[in-house]
C-alpha cells in the first residue's frame, strides 16, 4: 500500500507504475532490450471511465486502481440498463426484433456499454473497426492534462481488453490512428492481443500534398497518411483476407508505365482464334481429361500494327479491343507440364494451341475452361480483360494492393457523404467498404464503439452486415442516428451507387441509463425516512458512489 501512496500523482488516483512511459519487463523495470517486453505507463493498473459527452469539454477524471478500487470497478463494469428504445426502419415488433441480433445504436459511455453487452455478444463479432481520438490536442480527447499520454493509453487499454472478448475466434480488429500514438499503441496491442496475432500495419493515404515538398508543419514534413493496426483474435483461425485491388484508368496507367520506364506487356491481340483441330488428349492430376486443340488460320496482331491498320490511336485500340488483348507468361502449372509432355510424346509442335478442361477448384471450378498457349515452350496467354474493370464507360486497371492504401481520391467530396456535416475527421465510405469486404461476409456482425458520424455502421448496413455502434457524444442524436435513418431511406451518397443500394432494413436506438439514475428517481418519489434509509443501504452495496468534493 505504501507503494501506491508513494506513486500517487493525481487527486484520488493511485498507481503502482512509475511516472514514466517505456518498455519494461514483467517486474516493471524499464529496459531497452528483453525477450519479454511490455509497455508500462503511469496508471496502467487503473480504469478511466472517460465520461466526456461534448467535444469541447475538459475533464479531470479519477483513475480507479485495479487493487485499491476493486469494488468501484466491479460496480462500474456491472451490466447497465438501456432505456428510451426506438425501432427505426421497416415496421417490426420491437420485442421480436430484439431477439434476433438486431442492428444496435447505443448512446452512452463506450466502456460501460461494452461491459453491459459483453454477455450477449461474447465471441460473436467478426470485425471491430474503431477510429478513436488520436490524442493530438486538437481532437476530442480532453482528459487529465498533466497525464494526458498515460491517460490515453489507459483509456485505450481498458477498452481494447474488453473488445477482445467480443471477437469470434476467427475475428479481427482494425484500429485507425496517426503517428502521434501509433508506436505506443502497437506495443500495447501486442500485449493485449498477443504479438503472434498481429496481422498488418496499413498506411492509408488520405490527402495529396500540393506544392513544394516538405515544410508546412513547423520543421516536419506535411502529414498525409494515417495507420491501421490489424490484429486477429487467433492468427491461426483467422481466414485469409479477400484480395484488395487499387484501380487507375487504363490509359493513364499505360502512360504512367511509359513515362517511368515500367514494362507494359499487354502488346498483342488475338483478333481471331481461327479454327480448332483436336490433336491430343491427356489427363490432369485427378484423372480428368484435358483436350488439346491446334489453332489454324488465327489472326494475331501487335498493338502497333493495329494502330496502323485500323487508323485508331492507342487509347482507342485498348478500349475497343480490351477483350482480345493479351500478354504471355510462363506459369509453373502442372496442367502446362502435362500438355507439354503429351505434345513431345506425339512429336507435335504447333505454334498456337488451346486446351479445354474442367477445374476442380478455384474461380472456374466445375465449368469447362479454355486456355491458349503459343511457342515451343507453351507460353500461356494472360488476358487484359482479367485485370481490368469497366465502370461508367471507363476501363480501370486493377493492381493488387499491399499495405499502402490510397484513398486521397475519396476525401474530395467527403463532407457530402451520408448527408451529414462532421468536422472530426470523418472517414470515407470507400475505406470502410474495403475493410468490411475483405474481412467479413453477409450477416456477420460488425462493431464500432467510437461510432462518430456512423460511417462504419452505414457501410455495414449497405453491405448487408449486422452491426453494433456505440457513441457517447451528444451528436449521436443529430448526426449518427439521422445518417442511419437516411441509409434506410435509400440515400445515394458514398458507396450507394456502386453497390446499387436501394434502402431498407432497420435498427434499434437506445440509451445507456446513467449511473445511479434509478436511485435518483427512487429518491425523488420516496415516502418517508424509512424508505430513504432502505435506498441508502442499497446505494452502499449496488450503486457507484464518488465521495470526492472540490475544496
Q: What is the mean pLDDT of the chain?
A: 84
Q: How far is CA 199 from each of CA 191, 195, 550, rounded to the nearest angstrom?
A: 14, 9, 47
Q: Report the C-alpha gap between 8 and 292 in whole angstroms.
A: 81
Residue 314 burial (C-beta neighbours within 10 Å; 0-12, 13-18, 19+): middle
Percent of the chain with pLDDT over 90: 55
Higher-scoring residue by pLDDT: 477, 535 = 477
Give the three cell numbers for residue 136.
493530438
What pLDDT is recorded for position 99? 78
Cell of 450: 467510437
Contacts with 93 (C-beta within 8 Å, 6 or more apart), sequence order: none
pLDDT at 414: 82
pLDDT digits (tens, 9 = 90+) for 425-435: 689 999 999 99
Cell numbers for 269? 491481340
More confident residue, 204 or 73: 204
What domains appear along the chain, each with residue ranges and CATH number? 2-244+405-512 (3.40.50.150), 266-388 (no CATH), 521-551 (no CATH)
Q: What is the pLDDT of residues 138-179, one digit of tens each?
A: 555 454 444 477 788 888 999 999 999 999 999 999 999 988
Q: Which of 187-196, 407-416, 446-455 has the lowest mean pLDDT?
A: 407-416
Give the residues across from 276 on adjacent strands. 295
Q: Please answer whether residues 454 and 129 qualify as being in contact, where contact means their C-beta atoms are separated by less than 8 angstroms.
A: no
pLDDT for res 356: 96
Residue 32 pLDDT > 70:
no
Answer whether residue 7 shows pLDDT above 70: no
Per-residue pLDDT at 85 exceeds 80: yes
CB 224 within 8 A of CB 207: yes
Q: Between 355 and 475, where is the model more confident?
A: 355
CB-count burial class (<10 Å; 0-12, 13-18, 19+) for 204: buried
pLDDT band of residue 12 (cuts 50, 70, 90) is low
The reported pTM is 0.74
42 or 471, which is more confident: 471
pLDDT tens digits for range 473-499: 888 999 999 999 999 999 999 999 989
H or E element at residue 164: helix 148-166
pLDDT in the model for residue 258:
92
Pick 86 or 136 by higher pLDDT. 86
Q: How many residues can be counted in the chain?
A: 551
| Distance set, CA 100 to CA 103, 149, 305 (Å) | 9, 41, 63
Res. 278: pLDDT tops 80: yes
Q: Which residue has the higher pLDDT, 477 or 362?
A: 477
Other Cβ atoms less than 10 A from the Cβ of 165: the count is 15
CA–CA–CA angle 79, 114, 164 (5° rounding): 125
pLDDT of amino acid 409: 80
Cell of 330: 510462363
Q: What per-residue confidence (pLDDT) applies to 276?
A: 95
Least confident of 93-102, 345-354, 447-456: 93-102
The crossing angle, in degrees rounded to 10, of helices 148-166 and 110-121 is 20
**What does the pLDDT average to over 365-393?**
93
What does the pLDDT read at residue 518? Answer: 62
Q: What does the pLDDT read at residue 33?
A: 46
Q: Which residue has the higher pLDDT, 325 or 212?
A: 325
Which of the pair, 351 or 217, is modelled with greater confidence? 351
In the chain, what percentage of residues exceed pLDDT 70?
A: 77
| List of residues 6+ apart from 8 with CB closer than 8 A | 14, 15
Alpha-carbon gap, residue 215 to 415, rounded angstroms: 27
Greater confidence, 138 or 296?
296
**In this predicted structure, what is the pLDDT of residue 140?**
53
Q: Per-residue DSSP letters for 445-466?
A: EEEESS-TTSHHHHHHHHTT-E
Amino acid at each position: 500500500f505504501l507503494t501506491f501512496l508513494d506513486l500517487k500523482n493525481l487527486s484520488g488516483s493511485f498507481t503502482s507504475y512509475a511516472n514514466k512511459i517505456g518498455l519494461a519487463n514483467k517486474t516493471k523495470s524499464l529496459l531497452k532490450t528483453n525477450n519479454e517486453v511490455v509497455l508500462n505507463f503511469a496508471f496502467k493498473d487503473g480504469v478511466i471511465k472517460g465520461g466526456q459527452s461534448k467535444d469541447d469539454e475538459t475533464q479531470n477524471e479519477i483513475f480507479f486502481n485495479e487493487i485499491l478500487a476493486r469494488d468501484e470497478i466491479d460496480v462500474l463494469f456491472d451490466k447497465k440498463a438501456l432505456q428510451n428504445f426506438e425501432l427505426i426502419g421497416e415496421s417490426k415488433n420491437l420485442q421480436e426484433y430484439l431477439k434476433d441480433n438486431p442492428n444496435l445504436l447505443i448512446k452512452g459511455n463506450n466502456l460501460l456499454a461494452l461491459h453491459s453487452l459483453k454477455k450477449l455478444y461474447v465471441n460473436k463479432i467478426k470485425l471491430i473497426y474503431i477510429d478513436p481520438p488520436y490524442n493530438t490536442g486538437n481532437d476530442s480527447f480532453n482528459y487529465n492534462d498533466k497525464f494526458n499520454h498515460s491517460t490515453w493509453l489507459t483509456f485505450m487499454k481498458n477498452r481494447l481488453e474488453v473488445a477482445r472478448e467480443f471477437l469470434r475466434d476467427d475475428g479481427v480488429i482494425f484500429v485507425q490512428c496517426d503517428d502521434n500514438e501509433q508506436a505506443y499503441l502497437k506495443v500495447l496491442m501486442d500485449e493485449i492481443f498477443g504479438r503472434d496475432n498481429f496481422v498488418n500495419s496499413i498506411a492509408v493515404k488520405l490527402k495529396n500534398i500540393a506544392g513544394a515538398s516538405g515544410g508546412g508543419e513547423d520543421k516536419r514534413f506535411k502529414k498525409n497518411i494515417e495507420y491501421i493496426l490489424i490484429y486477429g483474435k487467433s492468427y491461426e483461425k483467422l481466414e485469409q483476407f479477400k484480395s484488395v485491388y487499387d484501380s487507375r484508368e487504363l490509359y493513364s496507367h499505360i502512360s504512367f508505365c511509359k513515362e517511368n520506364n515500367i514494362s507494359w506487356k499487354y502488346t498483342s491481340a488475338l483478333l481471331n482464334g481461327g479454327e480448332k483441330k483436336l490433336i491430343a488428349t491427356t489427363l490432369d492430376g485427378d484423372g480428368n481429361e484435358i483436350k488439346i486443340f491446334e489453332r489454324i488460320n488465327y489472326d494475331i496482331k501487335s498493338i502497333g500494327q493495329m494502330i496502323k491498320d485500323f487508323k485508331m490511336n492507342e487509347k482507342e485500340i485498348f478500349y475497343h479491343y480490351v477483350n482480345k488483348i493479351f500478354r504471355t507468361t510462363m506459369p509453373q502449372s502442372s496442367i502446362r507440364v502435362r500438355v507439354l509432355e503429351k505434345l513431345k510424346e506425339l512429336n507435335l509442335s504447333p505454334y498456337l494451341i488451346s486446351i479445354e478442361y474442367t477445374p476442380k477448384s478455384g474461380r472456374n471450378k466445375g465449368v469447362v475452361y479454355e486456355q491458349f498457349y503459343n511457342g515451343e515452350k507453351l507460353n500461356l496467354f494472360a488476358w487484359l480483360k482479367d485485370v481490368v474493370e469497366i465502370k461508367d464507360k471507363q476501363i480501370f486497371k486493377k493492381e493488387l494492393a499491399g499495405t499502402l492504401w490510397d484513398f486521397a481520391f475519396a476525401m474530395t467530396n467527403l463532407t457530402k457523404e451520408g448527408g451529414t456535416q462532421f468536422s472530426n475527421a470523418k472517414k470515407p465510405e470507400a475505406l470502410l467498404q474495403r475493410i468490411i469486404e475483405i474481412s467479413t461476409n453477409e450477416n456477420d456482425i460488425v462493431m464500432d464503439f467510437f461510432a462518430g458520424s456512423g460511417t462504419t455502421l452505414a457501410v455495414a448496413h449497405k453491405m448487408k452486415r449486422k452491426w453494433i455502434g456505440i457513441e457517447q457524444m451528444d451528436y449521436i442524436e443529430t448526426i449518427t442516428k439521422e445518417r442511419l435513418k437516411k441509409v434506410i431511406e435509400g440515400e445515394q451518397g458514398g458507396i450507394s451507387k456502386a453497390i446499387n443500394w436501394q434502402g431498407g432494413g432497420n435498427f434499434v436506438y437506445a440509451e445507456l441509463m446513467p449511473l445511479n439514475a434509478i436511485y435518483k428517481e427512487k429518491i425523488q418519489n420516496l415516502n418517508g425516512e424509512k424508505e430513504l434509509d432502505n435506498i441508502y443501504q442499497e446505494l452502499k452495496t449496488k450503486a457507484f458512489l464518488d465521495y470526492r468534493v472540490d475544496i
